[in-house]
A = this chain, B = another copy of it.
């Protein structure tokens, strides 16, 4: 037991609390299927099919598909159809570099604006990750992991950049999960966030920067650090 289930009401925009919208529920469900690979890359999705399968109208499916398109998880071709996006190593590496740039180059802003509420939220998400790891739920762990990094970036107050980070995060995780052995050390993934919270709590940007940089660059193993070329930590 040790770790008790966390109060979900304190979790921020992790899931934008509007599960009341059917299109959003559908979006979340399809997102999970795609990230986990249950819907394989290139698989065709048709709106009326999904509508029947999920007992809702075509418009609702459309809305969900457009949200997935926005994250780059599906590709919509006008009048032709929708298919699940590919999952290439080259794209994954490029997206990881972009993520590194986004998260690291705005750290000064994050540290300058860190408040207690942020630290509390991050600790809550850390616990959520621990619980997911204990339950061996790799996907749920990735959900909270994304929520953690998004919440951190929220402090930078760059609303127009947030969607880019969102896209990078989901594709990082998709690539990682699709290559991962069945059950890797999930607790370890959760615990990797501890030093980040500590450095942030101490407002120690000099310590935080290399920690976060390393954290990001070692998420996926791209072999002989291709992603490190020319990246200043």
Min CB distance, A146 to chain B, in Å? 17
Question: A9 at interface (Cβ–Cβ under 8 A)?
Answer: no
**Copies of this chain assembled into the complex:** 2
Question: A157 at interface (Cβ–Cβ under 8 A)?
Answer: yes
Residue among B86, B102, B167 making CB contact with A159, cutoff 8 Å: B86
* Contacts A97-B101, A102-B98 given; does A88 touch B160 at CB 8 Å: yes
Residues of B contacting A69 in the complex (Cβ-Cβ under 8 angstroms): 70
Q: Are A94 and B59 in contact (CB under 8 A)?
A: no
* Contacts A16-B78, A78-B21, A105-B230 given; does A160 touch B72 at CB 8 Å: yes
Min CB distance, A17 to chain B, in Å? 9
Residues of B contacting A16 in the complex (Cβ-Cβ under 8 angstroms): 78
Question: A130 at interface (Cβ–Cβ under 8 A)?
Answer: no
Residues of B contacting A161 in the complex (Cβ-Cβ under 8 angstroms): 91, 94-95, 98
Question: A158 at interface (Cβ–Cβ under 8 A)?
Answer: yes
Residue among B59, B160, B171 making CB contact with A95, cutoff 8 Å: B160
A167 and B138 CA atoms in complex are apart in Å by 31
Min CB distance, A159 to chain B, in Å? 7
Residues of B contacting A21 in the complex (Cβ-Cβ under 8 angstroms): 78
Q: Are A158 and B66 in contact (CB under 8 A)?
A: no
Question: A232 at interface (Cβ–Cβ under 8 A)?
Answer: yes
A91 and B163 CA atoms in complex are apart in Å by 12
Indicate with 1 or 0, residue by residue over A82-119, a CB within 8 angstroms of chain B CB atoms: 00011010110011011001100110010000000000
**Nearest B residue to A104 by beta-carbon distance?**
B230
Q: Are A98 and B59 in contact (CB under 8 A)?
A: no
**Nearest B residue to A87 by beta-carbon distance?**
B160
A163 and B86 CA atoms in complex are apart in Å by 14
- Nearest 3 interchain pairs by C-beta: A91-B160, A70-B70, A101-B101
